[in-house]
Structure 1
Amino acid sequence: MGKKGGSTKQRMIEVMAELLETGGYGASGLSELGKETNTPKGSLYFHFPGGKDELTSLALLHSGNQLNSFFLSVLAGTESPAQAIKQVFHTLEERIVSSEYKKGCPIATTAMETAGSVPLVSLTCSEVYSLWLKTFESYLVDKGYTPRIAKNLSLSLLSLWEGALLLSKLQKSPEPLRVAAKTAESLFKQN
């Protein structure tokens, strides 16, 4: 594949990632993707022989890796877990508010929609969540937490921000994220 083909493929992945985050799997049609990327439907199958499921999986990995890179940069740039978590929640709040509550978690909508019905996509969602959990677990272990406590705290954090993002999106309010951030910070004051 030439340079142009590679950039077209990447553009399709990025656009699909946006469509999935704002509308979910069912609402992210190939016709809309074609319009957004100015590519014919046949290009999809040329670049993604596995069709929509393959493209969706790659788009979710793209989004998941982008958010994980953000997590890594925050974790590396803060002095304490409490500061890091505060920054993560603050950025998630800025992100959802600036999108006028169209964006939330780039994985959650598709994960809930495809759980058990689209195996490749469900597996990809699970892999992304595992990546995020491992990122936080490793960070917390490096900060002196036992592996068991680090695992429990990481799962609690993921659950808090996923629930808060959903409620913020539904209520069109940052309040659920703010409350969840305070709860998350308190977890680190106890440990």
Structure 2
Amino acid sequence: MAELLETGGYGASGLSELGKETNTPKGSLYFHFPGGKEELTSLALLYSGNELNLFFQCVLVETDSPVQAIKQVFHALEERIVSSEYKKGCPIATTAMETSGTVSMVSDACTQVYSLWLKTFESYLVGKGYTLRIAKNLSLSLLSLWEGALLLSKLQKSPEPLRVAAKTAESLFKQD
């Protein structure tokens, strides 16, 4: 479901499409997910968001500096979008943009994931000696940069927006 959401958006990703992709009868999906599309979408987003957060945590633990970590995150995002031939971007953003203000369970899941990602980066930066205020600002800036760059890369079918955003993100840390 997460992949359907990421590539086609919320409107184009229903239980019928999921059933076709997975050879699962629609009735079985409703049996396991009585909340229907909203429940399944929310769970898929939370799962995808947690998986990506685990990736972020691994990168942060394995790198020596915030600049090195940011380079790795942006590089991985670039590899992911390019290898999907620009079909994938962020597993959360596509649905978040489409459902904000309309589908509360789904919007809540998107909000939870973004909050998780921000907390992960904030904690890392505080651990590297940044004040909480600066860590929050840097984390929000990073998230905004990579989400915008993913969108533009997907639209332009080019890695250039991600590369420019990565350099901008690096410069945020070199100023401190």
Common fold by TM > 0.5 = yes
Residue of structure 1 equivalent to 2:53: 68
Instruction: Give the drift of 1:89.
Output: 0.2
CA distance in 1, matches of 2:108, 2:36: 16
Residue 158 of structure 1, aligned match among 143, 155, 171: 143
1:59 aligns with 2:44: yes
1:142 paired with 2:134, answer no
Q: Which of 80, 86, 100 is the matching residue for 2:65?
A: 80
Whole-angstrom CA distance in 2 between matches of 1:102 and 1:36: 17
1:25 aligns with 2:10: yes
Cα deviation 1:34-92 (Å, max 9, x = unaligned): 11111111111111011100000000001100100000000000000000000000000
Q: Which amino acid aligns with 2:66?
A: P
The Cα offsets for residues 133-178 of structure 1, whole Å up to 9 and x where unpaired, read as 0000000000000000000000000000000000000000000000
Moved over 3 A (4+): none
Aligned to 1:125: 110
SS in 2 for 1:126: helix
Q: By how many angstroms is 1:125 displaced?
A: 0.2
2:31 to 36, 46, 50: 46
Unaligned runs of 5+ in 1: 1-15
Q: Secondary structure at the match of 2:53?
A: helix
State the partner residue of 2:75. 90
Alignment of 1:189 with 2:174, yes or no, is: yes
Runs of 5+ consecutive residues of structure 2 not aligned to the other structure: none
* Percent sequence identity over aligned pairs: 88
Residue 99 of structure 1: aligned partner: 84
Q: How many residues align?
A: 176
Provide the rounded CA distance (Å) in 1 between the counterparts of 2:116 and 2:16: 31
1:8: which partner in 2?
none
* Partner residue of 1:177 out of 162, 165, 169: 162
RMSD over equivalenced CA pairs, Å: 0.5
Q: Secondary structure at the match of 1:46?
A: helix
Amino acid in the other structure paired with 1:89: F
